[in-house]
A and B are shown apart, each in its own frame.
Chain A
């Protein structure tokens, strides 16, 4: 008898669970479909705050007005949500018509799986206009997405703290940087914060020292062949070790997160606890979110590019960066390609820049960025002979992740420069 009651209870529980499960799973219907001549385009993006959200709604409306019968269904999501949903979509193969691609090895995998539409011919005009920046979204000479925002990584710093330490000029070489660090420490200021707990912020240091130590040809070759035998890659690690020897980082940097909360690397810079942090172009926005008044560092925000590595073979003007691009999924209607082209048009990109939504790739919009720090960053980007896509993105998660893990070990003093090269090479071999 006891048994029976128990299984009955189970049944009730099970039925209840099923009801809940079915109630939760019934509202997901994001299919693109053409009904009686009308075309619906689904579009996912991560500008879920104003002014970006409203701006994109307006852009979609304008496009719909010009293209009767086309309806654009927008899903504006928080970035992390979008990344998770996209990952699930790639698994099921049921992608939105237009979505964001970060390029590099990740894109190459999606292309290999036949998920992305080749837009080389359809959007050739826009590709020409964007120029070299589009390289990160090309696989075997074909273009699969149009970058709409491309930023570079550099040092964000607190101009007040620099003044306090008597620093008048931002460093342009590594030894300048070491001097700057020494001056800040002498003034009892923690020089740099780094979110090595998240690994990629630490890895960016190695990427930059590699970019400064290796010639463009060696780098371009390594990205395609995944051959890291050139000694410049070991040198990159040695430069990082030299930097670590000056002990420039915030206490506990090995477990510091990149940008979550006031004790994260970005939080420390935003609250004036450290003098600088090397981060991407998104940093001002992140810092605004981490301060009570929503100002971040406000007018104390300064920016300078990564310094040159003495006797390095790399071009000191080359920059490390990355961005977001609009991709069209395989099987999406032609109107989706039209819309992506429209998103890269002069008008839309100028509006995008005026709303400080990112760093536009269409040169026509370059002058419209209002934020002074971002405008300076944009100048550096446009003056760069080339912008190297973040290595972890360029190599894909598998190789990039192994590389980042090993660089984090280098930061902890548990791996040598040679180990970083070996681990990356090993991951590349396992993948191939």
Chain B
């Protein structure tokens, strides 16, 4: 705007336009802070209200509940301090549940990552029936969790179930008490069903990630004489890094909160072999009416999930989010 005066003398018509343009641009800037604040308040309030109502308030009330002994009705006035936390953290069933949760976290990444990656790379090649195969792989993820759970529960029935039938059909002996009824097998069985259910998501994400790898890189590598395996190993997988890290994050959070599938397949049994933190707190709360203990367990679950999410964001996802900005 330094040569504005010259413009006015040289071409008044043009100056008129500039001025109008300027004034139009300036006017909002004068009462801008106010309007902007009003806009922000107007648009954000409903979201904040909902968040306060459905996120902040429940968390606060769970924290409050965790310091009381409360049966779910009547006044909440029996303050017990940290006792509920003491009982949760010294309860073998809960500590075992934490172990189960982390077993699922580790197993998911160890098994589903290589498996998902392999299938994604294969399905990314030009093969026959690719579209059909992609659909088949993704179908389990689309099936509602409860329906999938009930179906697997029936398939895994001892003796009468399809799985036992197949196993004895090939001449092996299925476990006498069934896969879900044998304490040593139950957690592995639940994990197998979870893998069946969630592998599709991993594959879908990885394939989407592969789409963003530029063809030129493959071509350049091929010109340099790289084999198929080498291009995957040196180009596709490294460029999939952000996708893999995001998937791992989702998988971890899902495993920490694991509830529905376990609840349907085993209810945490047999002999507490498949309890997770979530089934523990539901059992303590809605079934035993120890709402204080359930509150304490939910706070512990929240803290574990929160710390893990934060740590992962800071340590692993940081460079991905930075490059995005």
Residues of A with Cβ closer than 8 Å to B? 4, 7-8, 10-11, 13-15, 17-18, 87, 90-91, 93, 109-110, 112-115, 196-199, 251-256, 261, 263, 273, 396-398, 401-402, 405, 408-409, 412-414, 430
Closest to A93 in B: B73
| A7 touching B181 in the complex, CB below 8 Å, given contacts A14-B49, A398-B289, A401-B287 | no
Q: Are B288 and A255 in contact (CB under 8 A)?
A: no
Q: Are A408 and B271 in contact (CB under 8 A)?
A: yes
Report the Cα distance A306→B157, complex, angstroms: 29
Q: Are B47 and A113 in contact (CB under 8 A)?
A: no
25 contacts between A and B (CB under 8 A): A11-B42, A11-B44, A13-B47, A18-B46, A18-B50, A87-B72, A87-B286, A112-B74, A115-B74, A197-B269, A198-B267, A199-B269, A251-B178, A251-B181, A252-B181, A253-B181, A254-B181, A254-B270, A398-B288, A401-B289, A405-B93, A405-B272, A408-B269, A412-B271, A414-B183
Smallest CB separation, B269 vs chain A (Å): 6
- Residue with the greatest number of chain B CB neighbours at <10 A, chosen from A87, A115, A251, A413: A251
| A7 touching B288 in the complex, CB below 8 Å, given contacts A91-B72, A112-B74, A255-B270 | no
Report the Cα distance A7→B283, complex, angstroms: 39
| A397 touching B287 in the complex, CB below 8 Å, given contacts A251-B181, A254-B270, A412-B270 | yes
Q: Are A397 and B288 in contact (CB under 8 A)?
A: yes
Q: Are A255 and B289 in contact (CB under 8 A)?
A: no
Closest to B290 in A: A398
Report the Cα distance A196→B176, complex, angstroms: 16
Q: Are A252 and B47 in contact (CB under 8 A)?
A: no
Q: Are A10 and B72 in contact (CB under 8 A)?
A: no
Contact partner of B47 (CB less than 8 A), chosen from A7, A273, A396, is A7
Q: Are B180 and A10 in contact (CB under 8 A)?
A: no
Q: A87-B286, A397-B71 are in contact. List 17 more A-B contacts (CB 8 A).
A: A8-B43, A10-B44, A11-B44, A14-B46, A14-B50, A18-B46, A87-B72, A90-B72, A109-B74, A113-B75, A254-B269, A255-B177, A255-B181, A398-B71, A408-B271, A409-B272, A412-B270
Report the Cα distance A251→B287, complex, angstroms: 26
| A4 touching B183 in the complex, CB below 8 Å, given contacts A90-B73, A255-B266, A263-B160 | no
Smallest CB separation, B37 vs chain A (Å): 13
Smallest CB separation, A301 vs chain B (Å): 23
Q: Does B40 have its Cβ within 8 Å of any Cβ on chain A? A: yes
Report the Cα distance A15→B49, complex, angstroms: 10
Report the Cα distance A159→B164, complex, angstroms: 29
Report the Cα distance A6→B289, complex, angstroms: 42
Smallest CB separation, B325 vs chain A (Å): 13
Smallest CB separation, A396 vs chain B (Å): 8
List of B residues within 8 angstroms of A252 by Cβ: 157-159, 177-178, 180-181
Q: Does B186 have its Cβ within 8 Å of any Cβ on chain A? A: yes
List of A residues within 8 angstroms of B272 by Cβ: 405, 409
Q: Are B271 and A254 in contact (CB under 8 A)?
A: yes
| A263 touching B154 in the complex, CB below 8 Å, given contacts A11-B42, A11-B43 | yes
Contact partner of B267 (CB less than 8 A), chosen from A13, A109, A197, A398, is A197
Smallest CB separation, B300 vs chain A (Å): 18
Within 8 A of A (CB), among B6-47: 39-40, 42-44, 46-47
List of A residues within 8 angstroms of B265 by Cβ: 255
Report the Cα distance A14→B46, complex, angstroms: 6
Report the Cα distance A256→B269, complex, angstroms: 10
Q: Does B130 have its Cβ within 8 Å of any Cβ on chain A? A: no
List of A residues within 8 angstroms of B270 by Cβ: 196-197, 254-255, 408, 412
Closest to A113 in B: B74
Within 8 A of A (CB), among B109-125: none
List of A residues within 8 angstroms of B43 by Cβ: 4, 7-8, 10-11
Closest to A247 in B: B176
Q: Does B318 have its Cβ within 8 Å of any Cβ on chain A? A: no
Q: Does B234 have its Cβ within 8 Å of any Cβ on chain A? A: no
Q: Are B47 and A10 in contact (CB under 8 A)?
A: yes
List of A residues within 8 angstroms of B233 by Cβ: none
Q: Are B50 and A110 in contact (CB under 8 A)?
A: no
List of B residues within 8 angstroms of A402 by Cβ: 288
Report the Cα distance A45→B195, complex, angstroms: 43
Q: Does B319 have its Cβ within 8 Å of any Cβ on chain A? A: no
List of A residues within 8 angstroms of B46 by Cβ: 10-11, 14-15, 18
Closest to A84 in B: B286
Report the Cα distance A263→B40, complex, angstroms: 57
Report the Cα distance A185→B47, complex, angstroms: 64
Q: 1/0 contact trace for B261-283 toward A, CB 8 Å? A: 00001110111100000000001
List of A residues within 8 angstroms of B266 by Cβ: 197, 255
List of A residues within 8 angstroms of B159 by Cβ: 251-252
List of A residues within 8 angstroms of B157 by Cβ: 252, 263
Report the Cα distance A114→B87, complex, angstroms: 28
Q: Are B73 and A113 in contact (CB under 8 A)?
A: yes
Report the Cα distance A115→B75, complex, angstroms: 12
Q: Are B50 and A255 in contact (CB under 8 A)?
A: no
Within 8 A of A (CB), among B143-198: 154, 157-160, 176-178, 180-183, 186
List of A residues within 8 angstroms of B289 by Cβ: 109, 396-398, 401
Contact partner of B40 (CB less than 8 A), chosen from A7, A17, A397, A414, is A7
List of B residues within 8 angstroms of A7 by Cβ: 40, 43-44, 47
List of B residues within 8 angstroms of A273 by Cβ: 160
Q: Are A251 and B158 in contact (CB under 8 A)?
A: yes
List of A residues within 8 angstroms of B40 by Cβ: 7
Closest to A250 in B: B158
Report the Cα distance A251→B159, complex, angstroms: 8
Smallest CB separation, A199 vs chain B (Å): 8
Report the Cα distance A275→B312, complex, angstroms: 55
Report the Cα distance A15→B45, complex, angstroms: 10
Report the Cα distance A275→B129, complex, angstroms: 51
Report the Cα distance A17→B50, complex, angstroms: 9
Report the Cα distance A87→B180, complex, angstroms: 31
Q: Are A4 and B39 in contact (CB under 8 A)?
A: yes
Report the Cα distance A113→B74, complex, angstroms: 5
Report the Cα distance A91→B159, complex, angstroms: 44
Closest to B42 in A: A11
List of B residues within 8 angstroms of A412 by Cβ: 183, 269-271
List of A residues within 8 angstroms of B176 by Cβ: 251
List of A residues within 8 angstroms of B290 by Cβ: 398
Smallest CB separation, B134 vs chain A (Å): 30
| A255 touching B186 in the complex, CB below 8 Å, given contacts A112-B74, A197-B267, A401-B287 | yes
List of B residues within 8 angstroms of A90 by Cβ: 72-73
Report the Cα distance A430→B72, complex, angstroms: 17
List of B residues within 8 angstroms of A397 by Cβ: 71, 287-289
Report the Cα distance A87→B73, complex, angstroms: 8
The 6 closest A-B pairs by CB, nearest first: A113-B74, A14-B46, A252-B178, A254-B270, A252-B181, A412-B271
